[in-house]
């Protein structure tokens, strides 16, 4: 039985169960399992009318919604390949991806999205909207196609393209099925053996692999998944959802941590005093330097302060936060653990069906590490400590890019391009991207990510990119409305204790942030280092012509 058959079987068995919710200005738009299946039937009938052939590509371009979920399931049920794209991405980038996969049909969330594509590269593709897909009610599902086999491709998900053109990752039914079994098992452990009915909050776009896997896992577990529809309302919607857990990117957790600190500083008084002493004590405890008074202040805060923070920030039911997409700062993970909220880290790539490792709720969660390899997955270190993966989660290949596929798939092992380490307990840590390694003129190899992260801790709210390949020393570009003196002080702190070749010797402050719109960030917020280096060529050269005192 394929993963899709399992999901449909679950939904058909409990038609009245609430499975999806959209939040609109504090009010819910709900869909039961039966409602969702009715929408899937409508969408499948529409697709059947388009006379598409098995294996044809169908682009899904829309923000998260109940209808998105129905169309996604319908496309796969019709034997087509769903190509989910990010609705906020630049039209030129969307056109390039569509030209690459040659879709027969493009389904847009609304007329505005459809109109934005018109005039770009569309060639043979037909553009329709959700309104057209669901315009006619169909009472019965069309006759089913042949069931999905493990090697049937079901989706093409485009990678971020940090240093070049995005590539289409082809995932099969077997890839997805294996991953859903793993994620469901881990979540069942988190929920103390409960097999279904979790409350899940969700704000990340479904077009990204990890977010999509969370969606499908929720459907398979008959969870109640609440979708944030307005990023400006995340905090309020988070409390409204009263979730057991939800998937995060590090940036949101960093903002949540900062917001708590700022609010308590404004409040002041006894509460701030208890919080400050408890927080300092908690960090000393992690360092193995705790005193008796630290334990006392932590005990007081756990009774008088932390429960209130948890309730105001997230609600009263949260069992854990799940975090992926990029390394999470250790201090942020420890902050939430201090409040009594476990943070479970996940590591993976689109090419590994989103996941390679997951913290085990029943195991030893180590701050700063991303947990052990999931069941059935082999992981090892290759040259330059590159993380190499083998297992049923590894993708079939890049769409129409055999040479690119051959570079990363060798003897069934996938070469991730990530530099890592693993400890005796089997818990992995991701150090950085090998292709991002800066090789100074002296021959020293430096992973920029840890140094950038350290500088960001001193300059919250900004962005940092390290420069220095082939140069005599490291320099940095910092974005944001920040005084040069503050940047200088932050760099002094970061440089302290580091070897000379890992010290930042020059910097530039740039007011305009790196963004998706100016082409310097990928769709999921990663730095496009090559594009940044090209666009800021003159500024970078200036840092190496006149060395600043640091």
Hey, what are 49's tokens?
């009318």
Is residue 289 included in any domain, yes or no?
yes
Q: Domains in the chain: how many in total?
A: 3
> Are the C-beta atoms of residues 256 and 50 closer than 8 Å to each other?
no
pTM: 0.86
Distance CA 483, CA 420 (A): 35
Q: Residue 234: which of 222, 247, 223 has the closest Cα?
A: 247
421 and 457 co-located in one domain? no
Number of H helices, E strands in the chain: 19, 25
> Are the C-beta atoms of residues 30 and 20 closer than 8 Å to each other?
yes
DSSP string, 439-463: E-TT--EE-HHHHHHHHHHHSTT-E
Is residue 270 included in any domain, yes or no?
yes
CATH number of domain containing 162: 3.40.50.12780
Series of mean pLDDT values for 10-residue runs along the chain (550 residues): 94 96 96 96 93 94 97 96 91 88 95 82 80 81 77 93 76 97 93 86 95 97 96 92 92 88 88 92 86 89 92 86 86 92 94 95 89 95 94 96 95 93 94 83 81 88 88 90 91 89 91 87 81 88 66
pLDDT at 443: 72
459 and 393 co-located in one domain? no
194 and 302 co-located in one domain? no
Other beta carbons less than 10 A from residue 84's beta carbon: 25
352 and 468 co-located in one domain? no
Q: Which of 244, 267, 298 is the last residue of a domain?
A: 244
298 and 427 co-located in one domain? yes
Is residue 170 included in any domain, yes or no?
yes
Is residue 550 included in any domain, yes or no?
no
pLDDT at 57: 97
107 and 179 co-located in one domain? yes
DSSP string, 90-129: -HHHHHHHHHHH--SEEEESSHHHHHHHTTSS-TT-EEEE
Q: Which of 196, 220, 244 is the last residue of a domain?
A: 244
Is residue 114 included in any domain, yes or no?
yes
Q: Residue 444: which of 423, 424, 468 has the closest Cα?
A: 468
Handedness of CA 404, 407, 410, 416 (dihedral sign): negative
Q: Where are the alpha helices (DSSP H) in 19-110?
A: 33-49, 66-77, 91-101
408 and 529 co-located in one domain? no
391 and 444 co-located in one domain? no
Give the residues across from 152 on adjacent strands: none
CATH number of domain containing 494: 3.30.300.30
pLDDT at 140: 66
168 and 51 co-located in one domain? yes
pLDDT at 3: 96
pLDDT at 470: 81
206 and 255 co-located in one domain? no
Domain coverage including residue 475: 437-545
Q: Where are the alpha helices (DSSP H) in 459-504?
A: 484-495
DSSP-assigned letter for residue 165: S
pLDDT at 141: 63
Is residue 89 included in any domain, yes or no?
yes
Residue with the two structure tokens 């679950």: 10
Q: Which of 210, 229, 244 is the last residue of a domain?
A: 244
pLDDT at 195: 75
Distance CA 492, CA 498 (A): 10
Is residue 96 included in any domain, yes or no?
yes
75 and 173 co-located in one domain? yes
262 and 399 co-located in one domain? yes
Distance CA 214, CA 271 (A): 37
Is residue 492 included in any domain, yes or no?
yes
């Amino acid at each position: 039985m394929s993963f899709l058959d399992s999901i449909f079987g679950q939904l058909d068995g409990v038609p009245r169960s609430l499975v999806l919710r959209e939040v609109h200005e504090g009010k819910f738009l709900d869909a039961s399992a039966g409602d969702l299946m009715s929408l899937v039937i409508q969408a499948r009938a529409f697709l059947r009318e388009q006379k598409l052939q098995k294996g044809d590509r169908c682009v899904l371009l829309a923000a998260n919604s109940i209808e998105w979920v129905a169309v996604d399931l319908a496309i796969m049920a019709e034997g087509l390949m769903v190509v989910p794209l990010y609705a906020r991405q630049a039209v030129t980038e969307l056109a390039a991806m569509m030209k690459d996969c040659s879709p027969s049909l493009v389904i847009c969330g609304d007329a505005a999205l459809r109109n934005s594509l018109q005039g770009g590269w569309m060639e043979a593709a037909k553009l329709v909207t959700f309104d057209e897909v669901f315009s006619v009610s169909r009472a019965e599902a069309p006759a089913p196609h042949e069931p999905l086999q493990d090697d049937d491709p079901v989706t093409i998900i485009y990678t971020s393209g940090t240093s070049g053109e995005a590539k289409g990752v082809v995932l099969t039914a077997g890839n997805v099925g294996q991953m859903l079994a793993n994620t469901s098992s881990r979540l069942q452990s988190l929920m103390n053996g409960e097999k279904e009915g979790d409350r899940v909050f969700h704000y990340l776009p479904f077009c990204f692999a990890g977010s999509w896997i969370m969606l499908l896992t929720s459907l398979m577990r008959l969870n109640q998944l609440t979708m944030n529809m307005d990023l400006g309302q995340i905090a309020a919607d988070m409390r409204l959802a009263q979730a057991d857990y939800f998937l995060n990117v590090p940036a949101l957790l960093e903002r949540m941590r900062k917001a708590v600190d700022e609010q308590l500083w404004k409040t002041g008084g006894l509460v701030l005093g208890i919080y400050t002493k408890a927080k300092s004590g908690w960090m000393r405890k992690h360092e193995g330097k705790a005193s008796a008074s630290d334990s006392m202040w932590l005990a007081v805060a756990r009774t008088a302060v932390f429960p209130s923070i948890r309730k105001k920030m997230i609600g009263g039911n949260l069992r854990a936060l799940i975090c992926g997409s990029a390394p999470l700062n250790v201090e942020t993970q420890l902050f939430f653990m201090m409040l009594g909220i476990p943070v479970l880290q996940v590591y993976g790539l689109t090419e590994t069906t989103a996941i390679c490792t997951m913290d085990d709720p029943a195991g030893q969660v180590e701050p700063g590490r991303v947990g052990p390899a999931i069941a059935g997955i082999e992981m090892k270190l290759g040259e330059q400590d590159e993380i190499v993966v083998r297992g049923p989660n590894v993708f079939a290949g890049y769409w129409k890019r055999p040479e690119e596929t051959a570079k990363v798939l060798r003897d069934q092992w996938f070469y991730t391009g990530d530099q890592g380490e693993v400890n005796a307990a089997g818990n992995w840590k991701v150090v950085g991207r090998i292709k991002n390694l800066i090789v100074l003129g002296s021959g020293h190899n430096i992973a920029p990510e840890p140094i950038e992260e350290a500088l960001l801790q001193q300059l919250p709210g900004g962005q940092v990119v390290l420069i220095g390949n082939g140069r005599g020393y490291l320099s940095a570009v910092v974005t944001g409305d920040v005084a040069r003196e503050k940047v200088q002080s932050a760099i002094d702190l970061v440089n302290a204790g580091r070897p000379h070749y890992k010290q930042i010797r020059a910097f530039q402050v740039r007011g305009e942030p790196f963004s998706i719109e100016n082409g310097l960030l990928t769709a999921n917020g990663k730095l496009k280092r090559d594009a940044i280096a090209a666009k800021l060529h003159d500024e970078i050269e200036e840092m190496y012509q006149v060395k600043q005192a640091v």
